[in-house]
Structure 1
Amino acid sequence: MKRRSFLQRAGSVLAALGVGEAGLVMTGNRYYQVLAQPSPRKLAMLVGINQYSGSSLTGCLTDVELQQELLIHRFGFQPSDILVLTDRQATRQNIETAFIEHLSKQAKPGDAVVFHFSGYGSRAETMDEEGERMNEEESLIQNPKSKIQNLLVPVDGVANGVLEETLWLLLRSLDTDAVTAVLDTSYTDLGTGLWGNLRVRSRSVLQSNVSQPQQPAGQPSTEELAFQAQLRLNSKLKTAIPGVVLTAAGPDRQAFEEQLNGVGAGLFTYALTQYLWQATPATTVQVSLCRVAATIEQMVGNKQQPMLVATTDDLSLKTNPKQTSLTYHLFPNSSEADGVVTAVQEDGKVAQLWLGGLPITILASYGVNSLLTLLPPPGSEAVGNSPRQLLIRSREGLKARARIFPLLTGETYQLQPGQLVQESIRVLPRNVGLTVAIDSSLERIERVDATSAFSSIPNVSLVVTGEQPADCVLARVRKSGLLTGEKSSSSPIYYSQYGLFLPGFYLNPNTVGVEGEAVKTAVQRLVPTLQTLLAVKLLRLSGNEGASRLGVRATLEMVAPTEQVLMQRTTVRAIGPAPASDSVSTDLAENAAGMTDSGIISLPIGSRIQYRVHNYSDVPVYFILLGTDTSGNAIALLPPHSFANPSGLETNPLQQQAVGIGETIILPAASSPFKWVLQGPTGLNEMQLILSREPLTQTLAALESTQHPRGDFQRLGILVSPLEVARAVLQDLHQASLPAAETIAATPDSFAFDMNAWATLSFIYQVA
C-alpha cells in the first residue's frame, strides 16, 4: 500500500468536522464523561530550543515554561512527571531516547501524555521504501523513489533532524490513547528568519550549519534512519497514531514568534496556554483551537493558521461532526485563573507570580497596582466572605512581584506557592500608543524620511524590526508573497508602493499607495489608518471575557440564507450560574456554518447576521457594539436618537441602550428596518461587544460630537473619529469601576477597571 503524506494519512482538520464553534461547545458537552476518564498518571515531555548554530530563536524556552506552569497548576501534573529538554540538552539522540524512556516505557493505558516541541522545522529528502512515485503534494522533486518529509530540527542541526515519520512511530509506541502532541514549528522555507516583525520557525538547509560534510545536505542522518528502522520492529506499535496533534501552522504556512513585553514566545503556544488558564472545565480541543486561531488571526492575519489533526486512519471521522475530545484529554484540576503564586517571600507577605493567563493583547500594557484575588490554597476551602488580594508592585514579562493588600497590622495570613490568582482590578496607562516597525528592506534614505514623517504624528512610536513588539509594519509591497499569496523567492521583487502590514506581513486593507509615492507622503496618507489601528488596540485592552464577573452572554447568529448559531461568548466567572440557553437551539448549533482550515468561522458575502445578548446579572447592562470591517473601516452599530428632547435643544441625543435584568435582546432589533447584511470585500471582521453596569455617557457624547450619521433606529455606521470613541469607551469603563478602583489609589495617568463593572466580548470571523 502506498505510503501517504501525513495530511492524507491522518488528516481530518477542523473544517471537516462540519460544525461551528457554538456547535462544538454544545455537542461536546454530551461526550465529556465518556472521553475524560480518570487518569492514573499524567506524563509530559517538553522540548524547547533557542540556541541554534548560525541563527537563534527567542521564544522556545518561554513556550516550555508556559506549558510547564499550565500543566502543573491547571491540569494537576506532578513536576517529577514533566521532563524538560532545552537548548544543548535537545540533541536528536537525547530527544528520541528521552521519549522512549520517559513516555513509551512509563505510559500505561488510560494515562494522559503530552509531547511539546518548540523550535525550528525543516524538510528532508527521504527514499520511499516501496519505490512508488509520490504525487505532487508528497514530493517536491522528480525522483520516483524519494519524497520530501517534514522534520523537527534539534540543537545539532537539520542534518540530525527528527523525521516526522519517526515522531509518528514514537507516538504509536505509547500504550495509551490519551495523547496530545503540540508542535510549535513550521516547515515552509521563506528564505529569511525574519518576516515582518516576527521570527519564523522554519529553517532551510541553506540556513543551517551542516557540520557533517560527508552527509549530503537535506537528507536524514544514517543514525536517524537506523533508529526509525529499530522502531518499526516493535511488535506493539499501534496501527494508528493515538490522540491528536496540534500544529502551529498548516501546510505551507508559517509558525511565528514575537517579543511580548520583553519576553519572546511562540504565538501559538502563548495563545493556547493563555486560553486554557481561563477555559471552563468543559472545553474540547476543537473549541480551544477555534479560540486560539482567532487570537492569532487578530495579530498576523492568515499567515499563520493553527490546525488540529485527527491522527487516525479511520476515514469516517472526516465526516463525523461528533468526534470530540477534551484538550489534553483531561478536565482541569483547578479553577480557571490568570496566574499562580510561584514563590513566597518576606514572611509570607510577598508573592512571585506567573501571569500566563493574561490575554496576549493586554500583556504589554498591564500595569503596577493591578489587583488580583487569591483563590484558596490547593486542597483547602475559602474562609470567610472576603477573599484576600494581591497588589502588583512590579512586573517583567510574565513574572510579577505582588504583596498582600491591604496589609493589616498584625496580619497572620500566609501566602502559599501554588495559589491561583484571578484579575480583580486591571490598571492600564492612559497614554497607550501605536508602535510601528519600519521594514528593514527599505533603503536607508527611506527609513530616515519615514522616521522624520512619523515624528510629527502623536501617539505613534517607532521600533527596530524584529527586536521589539510592534502593532504594524510600514513596508513596500512585494510582487510575490505578500499580495498575490505566491511562494516567496530568495530574491523578492518590490513594487514602488508603500503599505501598512500586520506584524506577520499581512496587508492591511486599503493601505497601498500609488506607484512612485514618496515615503513621507505615504506616512501622511496612512494617518487615518494608524488612528483606526490605535482605536482597535485600545478596545482590545478592555477584553475580559475570561475575567469579567458581570453576568452576560452573547451569540453571533446567521439569519439568512440559513439560520445558524456561529459563536457564543459567556462570562464564566460571573456570580451565580449562567442560565441554560434561552432560544438558541442546539439543533441550530449542530448545523452551524463551516470553518476555515484554521478554525475561524467563515461566512459568505451577502449573509445576514444578528447578535443575541442575554443579561443574567443583577443590574441593567448598557452596551455598544464596535469593530472593524473587511475594508479596514472602524464601524459601530449606532443606537437610535431619542424622539423626546427634554433639554429643549434642537438635536436629540443618542439613546442609552440597556439590557434589563433577565432580558434577552436582538441586535439589530427585529423591528428595526436595518438588516445587517455582510458586504465585500473578503477579509476579517472583528467586533467588540462592550457591556457596562453604568451608562456609556462619554461614548455616546463622542459619537454625537463627531457628527456620526443620525437616525431613528439602530444601524451600522462607519466611525468618523474611531480613536476619540475608543478613548471615551475606556473612560466610561473607568468611571463605571468607581469607587472600587479608588481603593488601589490609581494615578491620574492610569485607567483602573473593576472586573465586576464591565465585560468585553470579542467576535472574529472571516467574510469570504
Structure 2
Amino acid sequence: MGLDRRTFLQQAGLALFTWGATEAGISSLGNHNRLTALLKYQQTLAQPTNRKLALLIGINQYTAQDHLAGCLMDVELQKELLIHRFGFNASDILTLSDRQATRENIETAFLEHLTQQAQPDDVVVFHFSGYGGQVKMPLASKEETLETTEIARDGFRLANSLIPVDGLSSTKKNLIANSILQETLLVLAQTLSTPKCTFVLDTSFNQTPRSKHGSFQVRSLSATADSPGSQELAFLAQLQHDFADKGLKPSKRSLSLPGIVLSAAHDNQVAVERHWDGFSAGLFTQALTQHLWQITPSSKVQVAIGRTAETVEQVMGRRQEPTLNNPDKSAIAYYFGLSDAPNAAGIISKVDKNNRAEIKLLGLPANVINSYGVNSCFNLVPSAENSAPLQVKSKAGLIAKVEPLALIEPLKIGQLVQESIRMLNRNLSLKLALDADLNRVERVDATSALANIPAINSAVVAKEQNADCVIGKVFSTLEPVTTNSDKNNQPFAYGLYTAGGDLIGETMGAEEEAVKVAIDRLQPQFNNLLAAKWLELTSNEFSSLIKASATLLTPEIKSPLWQRSTLVALDTLPSPKKKLFADTAIEAANNLPIIAKGTEIRINLGNTDDRQLYTLILGTDSHCNIYALYTPAQSTTVDGVVQLEEMAIAPQGELVLPPPEDSWKWKVSESPGINTLYVVLSVQPFSKTLKAFANQQNFKLDQPQVLNVTNPITVVNALMQDLHNNSSVETKLLPNEDVYAFDVNSWATLKFVYEVTNNEQ
C-alpha cells in the first residue's frame, strides 16, 4: 500500500516545503486543482539560486515481479557522485526506494521537489533504476494513428513505461498497468523551468526473447500490460491541461525529453544488472558513475557515455548499447562547472577515533574492485600537508577499510582518494557459471571435470552470482524450444558463452559430446579468458602518473581514429577525437568505433614524460584469442643469436608502430565482433614477457608480426611479474609473496574497445 501524502513528505525529508505549501494554501486543495495551485506557488519563490536538485529512484523489492538486486546500489552510487563530485547538497537530493517508490509518490515528488523548486539556472537530475515495460494504449483517433512513432496494431500502440513498486495488477483476463507512462515523464520534464536537466534511465522496455545464457538479470518485464491505469491517464490529462501555458498541447505528445537523456539501452535492447563479489548494480549505472568520477570537468557528455558504452558493450556486445539523446552536442556531463575538481578512485565515508577509515571505491572499474587486494594503497587528493598513504586492511564489496601508514592529520569524511599502489592476488582464476539448461547429472559431471582445470576456481549458478563465462547448450534448431520435454528431444552441443550471453566463436563442440569431454576441450579458451581477465586488471589510465598517449591511425583517413591518454598527460595533448569508419548517420547510432576487418591500422605512441618508456601491445579478438604486436626497431645479433628488441619511446618522443616506411602492414582482426587492444607502458623493460614470447615456435625475433599467443597464461604471468618488478614496491608493504604490487608511477595501460565488422576494406 502506498504512503499517504503527509507521511510520504515526512519520510522524504520535505518538511520545509510542506510548511511553505501550507502557508500558500496548497495542502487543503483537492487533487483536481493541485497542479494549478503548484504553478501559482512556484511564482512566489525567490529569484534563481543556482541550486542543484536531484530525484533518485531505485526499486529492488517489487510486489508482483521478481525482485531485482542492484537498483538501490545504483541510487547510492549516483547520490555519492552528485554530492562529492558535482557539488550537490545532500538536502537537495530526494531518494525514493522500494515501498516509497509508488506511482503516485514518484509523480508527486517530481512536481514538488523538482518542478516546484527548480529555477531557470538550476541543475536538475532525475534517475530511475528498476523495471521497464510496455502497455497497450488505445489509439484515440485516425490522426493519432498517422502521427504515432510507436508500433501500432489492432487499434492500439505499445507505449513504454517505468514500473513503480505498485506498477502492475491483474484480473482473471487482463494485466493492468499502474505504471508511469513515458509520455507522462515527457510532459513532467516540460514543466521544469530550467533546461539544465539530466535524465538517467537504467531500465529497458524490450520484451523479445532474450539470451538465456548470460550471467545477468534483465530490467524489463516479459509481459505486456493490456491497458494503462485509469489514475495514470487522469494524472496525465490533468498535467497536460494545467501546463498548457508552457507550450504543451494536450492533443500532442512530446517527441523527446529536454536536456540530456542517458539511457542504459536502445528501446529494442535490454538493460541488465550484474552481481559482483559483495555488491550488485546496474551494469550501466556502475560504469557511468565510475567514469564520471574520472573525467575532467570540461569533458563533454559524449566522452562519458562513450567510455560507459565501452564498459557495457565489452560485456553485452550489441545486446545493450547505452544511448545519449541530447540536441546540444557541446553539453557538459551534469553541467559540471568546477575546473579544479580532482578525479578520484574513492571517498572517505567513515573515520573512527583512531584515524582508521572506510573508503567507498566508487571511481574504480567493477572488475578491478572485485580483485583489489589487501595492502593496496591510496593517497588523498588533493594531497594534504603531512599526509601519508592509506593502506587497505580489508575489503568487502565497495568498502575498503584503511589505515594511514604514518601519523597524519585527522582524516575527514568526504575527502577524496586516488590509488597509488594496486595489489592483486597471484592466484587469480575464473568463475564459471553452469547454465540452467544443464540437468543435475550434467552439473555434477561438469563440477567434477572442473577440478582438473587450473584456470577455473569454482562453478556457480548462472544469474545468481558473479561469473566470467557460462557453459551451456547450443541447440542445433533455430525453432524456439518452449518446454523441458522439447529440450530433451532436441539435438545440442556444449558451448562457452560470455557473461553477456554471446556464444564465443569456435567453442561449440559436436553433438552427443559428454560434458566432461567438452570442459576438457575448452581448456585453451579458459586460459585465454583468464589471460584477458589479467589484462583488464592492469587498466589504469585514470590513476597512472606516467604521461603518455596512444592514437590509432589508418592510411585511409588523415584524422586519428581515436585517442587515449593518461589523465596526467591531458594538459599536453589536443582534445581526444573519435572518428568512425562510417557515415554521419551510422556514427550517431553507435557508441563504439566500428572498423572493417582487414583494415590497415597504425598506432602512434606519445611520451610526454621525462623518462624513457617501454611498451607492449596486446589484444583480444571476439573469439577471445590473445595476440601481441611485436615490431623490433632493429635486430641485433650476439654470437650468431638474434637478440630480443624492446619497443622503447624516448622522453618527449613518439613511436609509430609499424613505422610508415615499413613494408609490413598491421591489419585488424578477421573475427567480427567486439575487440580490445591494450597498450601497456612501463618505465623499465619487459624482459620476462619478451622471453615468454620467444618460447613460442611461431615467434620471429627479427621480424614485425602480430603474434597469436599460444601460451597466454605464461605470457601474462610474465607481464605481471615485469610490472611488479618494475614498480619496486617496498617489501614492508607486501603482505606476502602471493601478490603482484603495481605502482601507478611506474606503469600505465591504455585500452581501446572497438567493433570489427564483416565489410572488408
Coarse TM-score class (shorter-chain normalised): 0.7 to 0.9
- Residues 617 and 529 of structure 1: CA distance in aligned 2, closer, same or farther (over 3 Å): same
For the residue of structure 2 that corresponds to 1:608, the secondary structure is coil
Q: Equivalent residue for 2:470?
A: 473
CA contact (8 A) 2:213 2:472 kept: no
For the residue of structure 1 that corresponds to 2:742, the secondary structure is strand
- 1:585 Cα offset (Å): 9.3
CA contact (8 A) 1:117 1:183 kept: yes
Which of 272, 276, 279 aligns to 1:263? It is 279
Q: Equivalent residue for 2:17?
A: none
Q: Equivalent residue for 2:357?
A: 351
Query: How do residues 237-636 of structure 1 correspond to structure 2 at under 5 angstroms?
Result: 237=246, 241-310=257-326, 323-332=329-338, 334-347=341-354, 349-376=355-382, 383-384=384-385, 387-406=387-406, 408=407, 413-460=409-456, 461-478=458-475, 495-560=491-556, 562-573=557-568, 578-581=571-574, 595=587, 597-636=589-628
- Residues 258 and 557 of structure 1: CA distance in aligned 2, closer, same or farther (over 3 Å): same
Query: How do residues 125-274 of structure 1 correspond to structure 2 at under 5 angstroms?
Result: 125-132=136-143, 134=145, 142-144=153-155, 146-158=156-168, 159-189=177-207, 196-205=214-223, 217-233=225-241, 234-237=243-246, 241-274=257-290
CA contact (8 A) 2:617 2:677 kept: yes
- Residues 630 and 747 of structure 1: CA distance in aligned 2, closer, same or farther (over 3 Å): same
> Aligned partners of 1:517 and 1:586: how far apart in 2?
46
Amino acid at match of 1:261: D
1:763 lines up with 2:752 in the alignment? yes
Amino acid at match of 1:550: I
- 1:298 Cα offset (Å): 1.5
Amino acid at match of 1:570: S
- Which structure has the higher relative contact order (CA within 8 Å, separation 6+)? 1
Moved more, 42-51 or 671-680: 671-680
1:68 lines up with 2:94 in the alignment? no
1:79 lines up with 2:86 in the alignment? no
- 1:101 Cα offset (Å): 0.3
CA contact (8 A) 1:672 1:714 kept: no
> Aligned partners of 1:367 and 1:458: how far apart in 2?
21
Amino acid at match of 1:660: A
Amino acid at match of 1:126: M
Moved more, 510-519 or 117-126: 510-519
Q: Equivalent residue for 2:62?
A: 52
For the residue of structure 1 that corresponds to 2:366, the secondary structure is coil
For the residue of structure 2 that corresponds to 1:275, the secondary structure is helix
1:692 lines up with 2:682 in the alignment? yes
Amino acid at match of 1:537: K
- Residues 93 and 637 of structure 1: CA distance in aligned 2, closer, same or farther (over 3 Å): same
1:394-452, Cα deviation, whole Å (9 max, x unpaired): 1111112111122x4xx5x1111110000000111000001110101112222222222
Normalising by structure 2, we get a TM-score of 0.86
Give RMSD over aligned pairs. 2.7
Moved more, 621-630 or 386-395: 386-395
Unaligned runs of at least 5 residues, structure 1: 1-37, 207-216, 311-316, 377-381
> Aligned partners of 1:677 and 1:109: how far apart in 2?
52
1:149-200, Cα deviation, whole Å (9 max, x unpaired): 1111111123211111111111111111111100001111256897521011
- Residues 137 and 702 of structure 1: CA distance in aligned 2, closer, same or farther (over 3 Å): farther
For the residue of structure 2 that corresponds to 1:70, the secondary structure is helix
> Aligned partners of 2:283 and 2:715: how far apart in 1?
29
Normalising by structure 1, we get a TM-score of 0.85
CA contact (8 A) 1:246 1:306 kept: yes
Q: Equivalent residue for 1:11?
A: none
- 1:362 Cα offset (Å): 0.8
1:475-500, Cα deviation, whole Å (9 max, x unpaired): 112568xxx8x999798966501111
Aligned residues: 688
Which of 683, 690, 710 aligns to 2:700? It is 710
- 1:523 Cα offset (Å): 1.2
> Aligned partners of 2:500 and 2:121: how far apart in 1?
40
1:338-392, Cα deviation, whole Å (9 max, x unpaired): 0111121124x1112111101122111101111000124xxxxx554x6432111
- Residues 136 and 471 of structure 1: CA distance in aligned 2, closer, same or farther (over 3 Å): farther
1:295-350, Cα deviation, whole Å (9 max, x unpaired): 1121222221111123xxxxxx6xxxx83211112235721000111121124x11
- Residues 551 and 472 of structure 1: CA distance in aligned 2, closer, same or farther (over 3 Å): same
For the residue of structure 2 that corresponds to 1:278, the secondary structure is coil
CA contact (8 A) 2:631 2:658 kept: no
Larger radius of gyration: 2
- Residues 527 and 123 of structure 1: CA distance in aligned 2, closer, same or farther (over 3 Å): same
For the residue of structure 1 that corresponds to 2:287, the secondary structure is helix
> Aligned partners of 2:625 and 2:444: how far apart in 1?
29
1:542-591, Cα deviation, whole Å (9 max, x unpaired): 1101010011011112222x3332221111135xx642449x99999999
- 1:73 Cα offset (Å): 0.3
For the residue of structure 2 that corresponds to 1:223, the secondary structure is helix
> Aligned partners of 1:565 and 1:585: how far apart in 2?
7
Amino acid at match of 1:336: N
CA contact (8 A) 1:594 1:602 kept: no
> Aligned partners of 1:713 and 1:293: how far apart in 2?
36
Which of 666, 678, 686 aligns to 2:668? It is 678
- 1:593 Cα offset (Å): 11
Q: Equivalent residue for 1:749?
A: 738
- Residues 487 and 89 of structure 1: CA distance in aligned 2, closer, same or farther (over 3 Å): farther
- Residues 744 and 69 of structure 1: CA distance in aligned 2, closer, same or farther (over 3 Å): same
> Aligned partners of 2:470 and 2:87: how far apart in 1?
41
- 1:735 Cα offset (Å): 0.6
For the residue of structure 1 that corresponds to 2:293, the secondary structure is helix
Amino acid at match of 1:397: G
Q: Equivalent residue for 2:116?
A: 105
CA contact (8 A) 1:564 1:592 kept: no
Unaligned runs of at least 5 residues, structure 2: 1-47, 169-176, 249-253
1:639-695, Cα deviation, whole Å (9 max, x unpaired): 33963333x3x5423201110000011111223222122243321211100000011
> Aligned partners of 2:585 and 2:369: how far apart in 1?
32
CA contact (8 A) 2:505 2:622 kept: yes
1:188-236, Cα deviation, whole Å (9 max, x unpaired): 1256897521011011337xxxxxxxxxx53111000001001101134
> Aligned partners of 1:297 and 1:628: how far apart in 2?
14
> Aligned partners of 2:704 and 2:621: how far apart in 1?
17
Moved more, 678-687 or 397-406: 678-687
